[in-house]
Structure 1
Amino acid sequence: MLKGFKDFIMRGNVVDLAVGIVIGAAFTAVVTAFTAAFLKPLIQLLGGGTGVDAGKPTVRGVVFDIPGFVNALITFVLTAAVLYFLVVYPLNRLAERRKRGEEPPPEAPSEEVKLLTEIRDALVRQQVAPGAVNDILGRHQQEPPR
């Protein structure tokens, strides 16, 4: 199961890219909700004042939404950090391990495959008539097109 998941991650095709974008968007929504619900009010309180315009300085009637900007900046940094440490860094480490040859060797063939290989080799050693191995194994050769 984990091997299949690892192969899925390392495939790198368009579907995987789409899945990554959807996951990234969903995670960004979570971080945005967190910063809007907890950090923005805290920034507004630190900026002074209460109410909707707390912490937003006004110059000649123009409101500067500094808490909104700081909130967006924190959202970006948190999203980038989590994606880096949970996606990019582990994949880079895996790629380095593959380059160095530390990747675990492929799984050994099953007992059935080993048995069939031994049967095939024994039949070939007996030098059976051409095509007899295919007949024994149930393979049918197609005639070439005319």
Structure 2
Amino acid sequence: MLKEFRDFIARGNVMDMAVGIIVGAAFTAIVSSLVADLINPIIGLFTGGVDFTNNYFVLSGEVPADASLTAARDSGASVFAYGSFIMAIINFLIIAWVVFMLVKGVNKVKDSALRKEAEAAPAAAEPAAPPPPSPEALLTEIRDLLAARA
């Protein structure tokens, strides 16, 4: 069983996946900071600083009128936090857009590098196709095949 585990871990796919997960976790921190620290404040300028996070309905329990969502949850009340959901959707769309732009940029760089590589490599001359045989050559071949059969 230990040998099977070692073989499983030593596979290239598992190691690639592990590297991808680690890099993805680090990338998540970068993108989250980009959204929270750079993009959301800019969006706040256009929306007048509106933050939907503290918008909620109290389903049951007692909550002071001006209580934040955190205070409402801490009081034990059952709340329908639609504002947090709206902000999660907005953040998802922003993150998806940033990732899309990054992937698009990486693909553009990759395509550019491939194009340069293709231009730098000398074009391999394809061998010319042999000319088709003449009708006489075909008839001679057919005659020889028939003679060999008889």
Considering the TM-score relative to the shorter chain, is it more than 0.5? no
Structure exhibiting the larger radius of gyration computed from Cα positions = 2
> Please, what TM-score do these two structures have when normalized by structure 2?
0.40
By relative contact order (CA 8 Å, sep 6+), the higher-ranking structure is 2
> Please, what TM-score do these two structures have when normalized by structure 1?
0.40
